[in-house]
């Protein structure tokens, strides 16, 4: 696939933003600067990046407990996500949500959910709303391999297929749901194939290859936008760390497996590909890295200098006001 240099650099920049964001969150946590118990996305950056690159601000995203990357890739500003993780009033959920409850109405980021699978029917609902209103908005709902075995997944897939809703279900199959291996927990050991039962196309893609994800997601998003209905995309990926901060992730995963996947770091693979194709030189990649350091430092400074929510505001933002 031929892509403009600008697009290629944008993909690289976003992946690096996600990586450096998560590394900074981890460091802040271990230094006791934030209470944010968080599920990190390191290793999976090509998925959110390749998918969200096709989305417009007016499109919707629903996400999971591992959601910083989805919010950032959808365009929620790093300052607002970071401040939320530091429980500050300037955070995207007013400091009340934290890592698993990011939300940004202004970005049509319809939220992270700590309830595994629960964001999938919300995604189907958002897509129903777009179809009902006659807009060309697309909804993307991210979920894990564990979520693929919940009832909510099947209910959402059924309605999306039945009503041919403009939604793309993106499975981030990182081979584990907490400590449970996908291979031990999943009938058929294949998520994409389930699309057949729900009247939609399904595809599997290498989730470490941002170009492969970009291409497959591009087809699915275009199909949804043009009235062609839903799709299921299964991205084969791996979290390099444990399930959440505090879990080293090495008691239930064979060391050779971890090493093999770390050898397929999406950032390294893409940088190598760009350099080999002569699309960019090392100086350009270093320039992007500098740019991202500034963004991350700015987000950290903003978060750490922001106030906590005022105690007297505790009862606000609980209910939406009726129109």
Ligand X SMILES: Cc1ncc(C[n+]2csc(CCOP(=O)(O)OP(=O)(O)O)c2C)c(N)n1
Name the binder of 242 from Mg ion, ligand X, none, CB < 5-8 A by kind: none
Instruction: Return the one option of ligand X, Mg ion, none that residue 66 interacts with (CB less than 5 to 8 A, by type).
Output: ligand X
Cβ proximity to ligand X: between 87 and 177 the closer is 177
Q: Please give the DSSP secondary-structure letter assigned to residue 148.
A: G
| CA–CA distance, 229 with 210 (Å, rounded to integer) | 24
| Closest distance of CB 38 from ligand X, Å | 12
Q: What angle is formed at CA 34 by the lines to CA 91 and CA 303, rounded to 5 degrees? A: 35
Choose among ligand X, Mg ion, none what residue 77 binds, the Cβ cut-off being 5 to 8 Å by kind: none
Provide the token pair at 172: 């981030």
Q: Which is nearer to Mg ion, 182 or 302 (CB)?
A: 182
Using the CB atoms, write b or e for 213-226: b if 16+ within 10 Å.
Answer: bbebbebbbebbbe
User: What mask of x and - would describe binding to ligand X in positions 38 to 77, judged by CB under 6 A?
Assistant: -x-------------------------xx-----------
Binding partner selected for residue 116 from Mg ion, ligand X, none, CB under the kind-specific 5 to 8 Å limit: ligand X
Question: Which single residue is written with the structure tokens 């999938």?
Answer: 120
Q: Give the SS3 label for residue 146.
A: coil
Residues 165-194 binding ligand X (CB under 6 A) are: 172, 174, 176-178
97 binds, among Mg ion, ligand X, none (CB under 5 to 8 A by kind): none
State the nearest-atom distance from the C-beta of 261 to ligand X, in Å.
Answer: 13
Contact with ligand X (CB under 6 A): which of 16, 47, 147, 156?
147
Beta carbon of residue 312, minimum distance to ligand X (angstroms, whole number) = 32
126, HSE (Cβ side, Cα atoms, 13 Å): 25
Rounded CA gap, 277 and 266, in Å?
Answer: 16
Minimum CB separation of residue 92 from Mg ion in Å reads 24
- Counting Cα atoms < 13 Å in the Cβ hemisphere of 87 gives 11
As measured in angstroms, the least distance from the Cβ of 17 to ligand X is 19
Encoded one letter per residue, x for contact with ligand X by CB under 6 A and - for no contact, window 23-42 reads ----------------x---
Contacted by 115, from Mg ion, ligand X, none: CB < 5 to 8 Å by type: ligand X
Contact 187, 218 (CB under 8 A): no
Separation CA 134–CA 230 (nearest Å): 16
Among residue numbers 102 through 131, which ones bind ligand X (CB under 6 A)?
A: 114-116
Interface characters, 146-175, with Mg ion (x: CB under 5 A): ----------------------------x-
Q: Which of residues 242-261 bind ligand X (CB under 6 A)?
A: 243
CB nearer to ligand X: pick between 143 and 214: 143
Q: Closer CB to Mg ion, residue 27 or residue 178?
A: 178
Q: How far apart are CA 146 and CA 174, in angstroms?
A: 9
DSSP result, 205-228: EETT-HHHHHHHHHHHHHHHHTT-
Q: How many residues does the chain have?
A: 323
Binding-residue total with ligand X (CB under 6 A): 16
Q: Can you tell me the distance from the alpha carbon of 93 to that of 246, in angstroms, rounded to the nearest whole number?
A: 24
Long-range contacts formed by 101-104: CB under 8 A, 24+ apart: 102/63, 102/67, 102/68, 102/71, 102/76, 104/71, 104/74, 104/76, 104/80
Q: How far apart are CA 61 and CA 102, in angstroms?
A: 11
Among residues 45, 145, 234, 265, which is the contact residue for Mg ion, using CB under 5 A?
145
Q: Count CA atoms closer than 13 A to 47's CA, side-chain side.
A: 34
Q: Where does this chain bind Mg ion (CB under 5 A)? A: 144-145, 174, 177
Q: Where does this chain bind ligand X (CB under 6 A)? A: 39, 65-66, 114-116, 144-147, 172, 174, 176-178, 243
């Amino acid at each position: 696939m031929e892509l403009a240099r600008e697009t290629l650099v944008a993909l690289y920049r976003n992946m690096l933003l996600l990586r450096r964001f998560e590394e900074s969150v981890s460091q802040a946590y271990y230094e006791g600067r934030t209470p944010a118990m968080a599920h990190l996305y390191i290793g999976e950056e090509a998925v959110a990046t390749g998918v969200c690159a096709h989305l417009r601000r007016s499109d919707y995203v629903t996400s999971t407990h591992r959601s910083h990357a989805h919010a950032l890739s959808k365009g929620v500003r790093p300052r607002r996500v970071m401040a939320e993780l530091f429980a500050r009033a300037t955070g995207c959920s007013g400091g009340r949500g934290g890592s698993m409850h990011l939300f940004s109405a202004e970005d049509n980021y319809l939220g992270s959910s700590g309830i595994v699978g629960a964001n999938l029917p919300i995604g189907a609902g958002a897509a129903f709303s777009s179809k009902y209103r006659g807009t060309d908005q697309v909804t993307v709902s991210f979920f894990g391999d564990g979520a693929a075995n919940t009832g909510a997944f099947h209910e959402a897939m059924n309605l999306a297929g039945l009503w041919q809703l403009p939604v793309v279900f993106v499975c981030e199959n990182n081979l584990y749901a907490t400590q449970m291996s996908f291979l031990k927990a999943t009938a058929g050991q294949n998520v994409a194939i389930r699309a057949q039962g729900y009247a939609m196309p399904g595809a599997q893609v290498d989730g470490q290859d941002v170009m492969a994800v970009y291409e497959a997601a591009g087809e699915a998003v275009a199909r949804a936008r043009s009235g062609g209905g839903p799709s299921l995309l299964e991205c084969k990926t791996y979290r390099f760390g444990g399930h959440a901060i505090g879990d080293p992730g090495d008691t239930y995963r064979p060391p050779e497996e971890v090493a093999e996947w770390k050898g397929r770091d999406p950032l390294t693979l893409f940088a190598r590909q760009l350099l080999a194709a002569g699309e960019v030189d090392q100086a350009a990649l270093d320039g992007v890295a500098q740019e991202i350091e500034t963004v991350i430092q700015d987000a950290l400074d903003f978060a750490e200098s922001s106030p906590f929510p005022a105690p007297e505001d505790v009862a606000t933002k609980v209910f939406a006001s009726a129109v």
